Structure 1
Amino acid sequence: MRRIAPAIGLFFLAPLIAEFLLGNLPVSLLFALMILAPLYGAGALLIREVVRRTGRGWPSIIVLGLAYAVFEEGVTTQSLFNPNYANAHLLDHGYVPALGLSVPWTLGVLALHAVWSIGVPIGLTESLVLDRPRTPWLGKLGLTVTAVLFALGSVATTAMQLYQDDFVASVPQFVGVAVAIVVFVAVAMTFRPAARQVDSVNRVDSNAIRVVTSRTAPNPWWVGAFAFVTGTAFRLLPDGIPAWLNVAGLLVLAAIVIAVVRHWSHQTGWGDSHRFALVAGAMVCYAVHSFIETPVMPVSPAIDHTGDVVFSLAALVTLALTARRLRRHAAASTVEEAGVAPARR
């Protein structure tokens, strides 16, 4: 149980963050976890296990998260192509008839799933498992069971959507979805296995060593604030502005986040606390946004905001406990290193 506990935690954490912390589903639909966990949870778990088993890192996780997003929104819910999905008029803004989709909605929902549905739950769970954050958590049997659960969750979600709305995308659209998934998976596998860091300015060009600049990584609080601000800007980017201005805003935000995080991650001292800060900032962004999010199922304001409060408090408590564990782990590691230093000399 100790070995698979992180996997079980991620299995349920992914849908809780993706749908309930966001405020997209009210607390009265908490029973929907039985269907959402096999889709979101098993999907995040499979991505995490594939990446860690191949020794790759966060770029691969995020790109595979994009592949997952294309699958969910292009196959199971078909929200990329359904003009009447959830009566939300998602395709009214920036619609491209040749593709049968809205560019702002497509970019936004893909980023949302890659970061919050996949990346944030994986990052939070790994921050809680300090003794083996980047090692596999499942064996062959566990992977098989997870894959089966993901297939069942995908079928169940698709069946429920078709029961509510008989819309079915065209064959060319499904072909485009399949091609996009294959491309994202291929790109994710092109990233080299994660390399160990060396604090040096002059070490270059080695498959086993990643250069770390002499600059010191910023305080984790600044990293968390950056994640919160950029995440909030992403969530609040207005639909009322011209479509291509909206698209430009999404792309600029993505470029800024990628460039800044990549720059910071190559600086001296970048570590678990900084990665956790990114997760924490993104989660707090979701918690704050939940109070203005309109649930897909109409409920009374009392039920809606009760769920917002419950899930936001649960998120804050979880983040506080995780931060405490990280501080204790870092302190223990410092004491251990200080204790063995004389022996090394």
Structure 2
Amino acid sequence: MFVLLAAAAVGWLVRGRFGGALVLVLIACLIVASFPQLSADLVGDRGLAVGVLRGAEVVCLGVAVHAAARRVHRPTTDPLKPDINGKAIQVVAVLGLCAIGAELLAAYDDSTGDAAALAFALVFFAGLYGAPALLARELVRRRGWGWPSLLLLFAALGTAQACLIDQSMFAVDYQGYEGWKFFREQTLIPALGISASNAYSFVFGHVIYSFAAPIALAEAWAPQRAREPWLSPTGIVAAALAYLGTAAVILADPESHTGSPMQLAVSSGVVVAVVAAALLVGRARATATKAGGPPVWAVLLITLVVALAPDLADTTSWRGLAVGVVASGALGVAILVAARMWGWSPRHSAAAGLGFLLARGLMAFTYFPLIGNVEPFAKYAHNTAMLIVVLIAGAVALRQGPGVLAFQAHTG
């Protein structure tokens, strides 16, 4: 109740979109902090009364979220006019969504449903994933490059994360996660000392869930700014320091030193080669994006099916891995063809990103954390809350508003 009152006070004192964003943050904190207490007192003589009260609280939260979201996405008088507050909101959104997409949405460890651990994880992973995502985007947008270069930079970051920072790619038994060694051996390539399934899941997973999908959603919140830089010089320095600091914390963990000198050297070479490819692709300027494109809902549904296919086929096996690689490759080709034939917009990119994030969030309901003991209620409440955050971010991104019309007028 006190958090709701604080949110109401913030909404009254801090006007505009920034105030609405602060209200959403406070409400999110309230929801996360309430996980352990949600089932308390629902049995016994007071069960019915407490259940009714909790229902009323949920309704109040829904009204507060709706009001704050409307304020955040209230259009400016001129959609093409620079909006510093709007950019700040998008930056914060990327930081949060990268942390959620990379780690919290999957709900695979013992922080699941733990309010204090989740709060720390949100901040830490925002630095580890959100900060480099913003830096890569900043380089691409300042140079006038497009998504191909951005995806290659994300691939370099994903390779660096899995092979050079946490070095999970080379770990035989990482952090005590249940089943790690068994599943690794199903697609082990002895000559390289890595699992093919892990290579696909880690690198491709980082590209999509840790970086690309969150960026796509945040850009679609204000498509008229999708090609603009977001960070000031101070912001660039802060993002770089956050990334280096969190990466250093991971490297300080002895369990992050599993790669051999040769594996680390080869991985470093791969990262450099992928960055070089991003620079070369960026210099070969593509034609401007055309307005129009396939139906956004079709992009969302197709991407959701493609994202679910590898999990349903079991990517820990060679057959499932083949399904994942073929399905992802086919989707990439289909997007390139659709963009050239009918056009592509930030909303289409957001729909594709949302499809992947929804698939990860839905699959998280099908398993329990791989380490620690998490109560079922806390686990499913966590899954639900993370999925709701993704759905809200996706709904805002896919909303047809003045910014979309401004983008179409600018590109058409």
TM-score by length of structure 1 reads 0.83
How far residue 142 of structure 1 moved from its aligned partner, in angstroms, is 1.7
- Percent identical: 25
Q: Is the 8 A contact 1:76 1:154 kept in 2?
A: yes
Q: Superposition RMSD on alpha carbons, in Å?
A: 2.3
Q: Distance in 1 between matches of 2:156 and 2:219?
A: 21
Over 3 Å counting, the alpha-carbon distance change for 1:295 and 1:125 in structure 2 is: same
Task: State the partner residue of 2:324.
Answer: 250
Q: Distance in 1 between matches of 2:133 and 2:289?
A: 26
Structure 2 spans left out of the alignment, 5+ residues = 1-83
Task: State the partner residue of 2:288.
Answer: 196
Structure 1 spans left out of the alignment, 5+ residues = 200-215, 338-345
Task: State the partner residue of 2:260.
Answer: 170
Task: State the partner residue of 2:297.
Answer: 221
Q: Distance in 2 between matches of 1:166 and 1:150?
A: 17
Task: State the partner residue of 1:207.
Answer: none
Taking the TM superposition and a 5 Å limit, the aligned residue runs for 1:57-136 are 57-86=146-175, 87=177, 88-89=180-181, 90-136=183-229
Over 3 Å counting, the alpha-carbon distance change for 1:190 and 1:34 in structure 2 is: same
Task: State the partner residue of 1:206.
Answer: none
Taking the TM superposition and a 5 Å limit, the aligned residue runs for 1:117-156 are 117-156=210-249
Between stretches 9-18 and 225-234, larger displacement belongs to: 9-18
Q: Is the 8 A contact 1:55 1:194 kept in 2?
A: no
Match of 2:285, SS state, is coil
| Runs of 4+ that moved beyond 6 A | none
Q: Distance in 1 between matches of 2:234 and 2:404?
A: 34
How far residue 177 of structure 1 moved from its aligned partner, in angstroms, is 1.1
Over 3 Å counting, the alpha-carbon distance change for 1:232 and 1:61 in structure 2 is: same
Q: Distance in 2 between matches of 1:218 and 1:240?
A: 33
Deviations 1:148-193 (A, max 9, x none): 111001011222x42xx37532100110110110011111112123
Correspondent of 1:280 among 332, 349, 354: 354
Q: Is the 8 A contact 2:107 2:364 kept in 1?
A: yes
Q: Distance in 2 between matches of 1:240 and 1:330?
A: 40
How far residue 117 of structure 1 moved from its aligned partner, in angstroms, is 0.9
> Relative to total residues, which structure has the larger helix share, 1 or 2?
2
Match of 1:263, SS state, is helix
Q: Distance in 2 between matches of 1:98 and 1:333?
A: 50
Match of 2:167, SS state, is coil
Task: State the partner residue of 2:270.
Answer: 180
Task: State the partner residue of 1:208.
Answer: none
Task: State the partner residue of 1:292.
Answer: 366
Over 3 Å counting, the alpha-carbon distance change for 1:171 and 1:129 in structure 2 is: same
Q: Is the 8 A contact 2:299 2:351 kept in 1?
A: yes
Q: Distance in 2 between matches of 1:141 and 1:27?
A: 35
Q: Distance in 2 between matches of 1:100 and 1:333?
A: 47
Aligned-partner residue type, residue 195 of structure 1: T
Taking the TM superposition and a 5 Å limit, the aligned residue runs for 1:225-236 are 225-236=301-312
Q: Distance in 2 between matches of 1:21 and 1:166?
A: 23
Confirm or deny that 1:302 pairs with 2:372.
no
Task: State the partner residue of 2:95.
Answer: 11
Between stretches 20-29 and 261-270, larger displacement belongs to: 20-29
Aligned length: 314
Q: Is the 8 A contact 1:35 1:156 kept in 2?
A: no
How far residue 254 of structure 1 moved from its aligned partner, in angstroms, is 2.5
Q: Is the 8 A contact 2:224 2:406 kept in 1?
A: no
Over 3 Å counting, the alpha-carbon distance change for 1:112 and 1:232 in structure 2 is: same
Aligned-partner residue type, residue 272 of structure 2: V
Deviations 1:183-218 (A, max 9, x none): 11111112123431468xxxxxxxxxxxxxxxx732
